[in-house]
Amino acid sequence: MPNQFGLDRFDFDDAYGKGENNLCSKDLKEFIEKNHLDLNLDGHFNPRLVFGILDYGSQYNQLVCRRVRDEGVYSEICSYKDAPEKLKQGNVIGIILTGGPHSVYESNSFSLPKEVLESKLPVLGICYGFQLLSYYLGGEVKGLNKSEFGNAKVNVINSDSLLLKNIPSSFISFMSHNDSVTKLPSGFIKNAETDSCPNAIASDETRKIYGVQFHPEVNDTEFGQQIIRNFLFEIVKADKNWTMENFIEDKVKEIKEKVKPDERVLLGLSGGVDSSVTAALLSKAIGKRLTCVFVNHGLLRKNEVKEVIDTFKNFDLDFKYVDASNDFYKALAGVTEPEEKRKIIGKLFVETFRKEADKLGKIDYLAQGTIYPDVVESGLGGNSAKIKSHHNVGGLPKDIGFKGLVEPLRYLFKDEVRRTGLSLGLPESLVFRQPFPGPGLGIRIIGEVTAEKVKIVQDADYILREEIKNAGYDKQISQYYAALTNMKTVGVQGDGRSYDYAVVIRAVKTIDFMTAKPFDLPYSILTRIADRIVDEVDHVSRVFFDYTSKPPATIEME
C-alpha cells in the first residue's frame, strides 16, 4: 500500500537498525499482492498537513527534509514521479524541489510534473529544482563557462521578497552546479547574484514560486535556515505541529487499532537506540503482547550482552535471549565483500527470528527499528543514487512468515528517535548511547569476519570509548568507534619484530548524520588511545585516525 505521498512502503524501507531491500520492487509488489499482507504499520506518521520534498537525485535531499522538520513542520521525501496522484489528496501545503545531477535540457533529465504548478501551492526550487522551474516556465538554462562548486558570495540585488526577510545584503552560500538560469521566466524578479551566477535567487511573489541556485540546507550557507524558515512561515504559512509527543500519541493509537487484542508482535531488540525506542513505543501500546528477542550475533561491542540483558530485564515486555554467534561466524566465513556481508547478516537475523517465532507459537507481526536516514542512503527514498545497502531490509526473504511489518520509527531522524525515547521515559544512558549499525562489528571489520578479529575490535573500541569518556568528549562527539583494517604492518614489540593488524579510529561531528566532519581530538588523547590499544590489545601493531569527511566517505567503514 502506498502512503499518502506516494512512498511505496516496501520500496522505501529499512529495518532492525539499518537495512536495504534486495528484492526488486516488481517482485516484492507481486509477493505482497499474492499474500494479501497487511502492511499498514510502516511507521508513517499521518499528520493532517505534509510538506512535500520532491527528490530529483540530490545528495542533500534528506537534509532538506531535516531542515523543514527542524522548524516543527512535518515533511517527507517523495520521487517527483509519484507526486501528481498524491497531490490530489489535498494535504500537502508546500513543495520544495531538490537539486539533482542532470541538466534540465538533456533528454534524460528528470521532469517537472504539471500537477506541481497546477496545485497553486507555494514552490521553492533548489539548484536543479530552480533551473527546472525556470525551464518549464519559459526561462533559459545554460551551462556555465566555469562550474561553481563550494562557497560563493551572494549579493542581494532586490530584497523585496518574503523569502529574503531578515537576510543581509550579502552572505556566503554553498554552490554545486554546472548550469545556471541565464534568463528568468516572465513574472520573475531577480533577487540576487554571484560573480559566476547571474540569478542566484529569483521570485514570483504573485504565484509564490521561488528559486535559489545555492543549497540553503547545507551548513556552509549563511542564513540558509532563515531562508527555509521564511518559505515555511512567511510564504506557506505553515503551523508548527510536528512534535514527538504528538507522534507518540498518534502512533500508539495507530498500533492499538492495527494490532488486534489477540495478536502478537516480535521485535529484534539489539539494545541500541532505535530498537530500544521501538520496544518502548510498542510496549506502551500492546504491553506483553510484544516479545523482544535479543539475538547475540557475535558482532556486538564488549560487555554489550550483559548490559542489554540488565537494562531490559525489568521492562514490561516478554524478553528472550538467543546466542547465535557461532551461526553468524560460520555464515560469514570467507566473505569479504561489504554488501554480501550485510545481506548475509540480515538474512540470518530474520531466519533466527523465524526459528524463535516457531517456539513462541503464533506471532502476527515482525517489528523493526527502522529509521529514516538509512532509507535514502539505500537509494529507495526518491531518485537519489544508492550509497550503500543497509542489512536488515536486504536480508528480508520473500516468505517472511509474518502477517506484516511494524516499523514505528521509519520516518524519524536520529535526534527525533532520541527525543521520542526521552518522552517515553527511557534513561538518558540508553537514549544517548553511541550509534551502532545493525550488522554490528561486521562492517567495522574490513574483509573476512572472524571471532579473533571481533575480539580485537571489541577490546580496541572499549579502550577508545573509555578514554573519550574520561577526557569529557563523549557528549561532544556525535559518533566514535574503533575498526579493524584488513592489512598488517611491521612493528616492534618488546625486543622482537611483530607483524600485526592496524586499527583505525573514527570520530565525527554531525547534526543529521547526512554530512559529517572529523572531530579534532587533541593530540595527547589520540596518542594515549593509540598507546593503550597497541599495549593492551593482542595482534595490533599500529593505530590510524580517519580524518575523512562525509561525503566523500560514509561514517561507517563499510
Assign residue 99 the CATH number of its domain: 3.40.50.880
Q: Are residues 114 and 206 in the same domain?
A: yes
Position 556 in a domain:
no
> For 1-10, 369-378, 394-403, 506-515, which range has the lowest pLDDT when averaged over its residues?
1-10
Residue appearing with cell numbers 526521552: 422
Q: How many angstroms separate the CA atoms of 362 and 472, rounded?
A: 48
Residue 5: per-residue pLDDT:
25
Position 541 in a domain:
yes
Q: Are residues 458 and 503 in the same domain?
A: yes
Q: Are residues 376 and 341 in the same domain?
A: yes
Residue list for the binding site: 270-276
Confidence of residue 4 (pLDDT cuts 50, 70, 90): very low
Q: Are residues 79 and 211 in the same domain?
A: yes
197 labelled catalytic: no
Residue 42: per-residue pLDDT:
42
Is the model's pLDDT at 8 over the cut of 60? Answer: no
Residue 382: per-residue pLDDT:
52
Domain that holds residue 213: 48-235
Q: Are residues 391 and 415 in the same domain?
A: yes
Q: Are residues 272 and 402 in the same domain?
A: yes
Report the first-to-last Cα separation within the chain, whole angstroms. Answer: 32
Tell me the percentage of the chain whose pLDDT exceeds 70. 85
Q: How many angstroms separate the CA atoms of 78 and 128, rounded?
A: 16
Position 5 in a domain:
no
Q: Are residues 427 and 482 in the same domain?
A: no
**Final residue before a domain boundary, out of 400, 431, 462:** 431
Tell me the percentage of the chain whose pLDDT exceeds 90. 53
**Grid coordinates given for 322:** 538467543
Position 1 in a domain:
no
Position 11 in a domain:
no
Q: Are residues 412 and 363 in the same domain?
A: yes
Q: Are residues 346 and 255 in the same domain?
A: yes
Element (H, E) at 284: helix 273-286
**Final residue before a domain boundary, out of 235, 266, 282:** 235
Residue 159: per-residue pLDDT:
95
Q: How many angstroms separate the CA atoms of 44 and 23, rounded?
A: 22
Residue 143: per-residue pLDDT:
85
215 labelled catalytic: yes
- What is the pLDDT of the chain when averaged over all its residues? 83
Q: Are residues 215 and 264 in the same domain?
A: no
Q: Are residues 199 and 67 in the same domain?
A: yes
Position 389 in a domain:
yes
**Final residue before a domain boundary, out of 191, 218, 235:** 235
Q: Are residues 202 and 289 in the same domain?
A: no
Position 16 in a domain:
no
Q: Which of 483, 433, 461 is nearest to 308 (CA)?
A: 433
Residue appearing with cell numbers 588511545: 529
Position 487 in a domain:
yes
User: What total number of domains does the chain contain?
Assistant: 3
- Identify the CATH number of the domain in which residue 506 sits: 3.30.300.10
Residue list for the binding site for ATP: 270-276
Catalytic residue among 217, 304, 407, 556: 217
Catalytic residue among 65, 78, 127, 292: 127
> For 194-198, 212-216, 266-270, 418-422, which range has the lowest pLDDT when averaged over its residues?
266-270
Helix 451-470 to helix 523-536 angle, to the nearest 10 degrees? Answer: 140
Is the model's pLDDT at 76 over the cut of 60? Answer: yes
Residue 401: per-residue pLDDT:
64
Residue appearing with cell numbers 532586490: 158
Catalytic residue among 44, 102, 177, 215: 215
Element (H, E) at 377: helix 373-377
- Identify the CATH number of the domain in which residue 335 sits: 3.40.50.620
Confidence of residue 400 (pLDDT cuts 50, 70, 90): low
Residue 49: per-residue pLDDT:
64
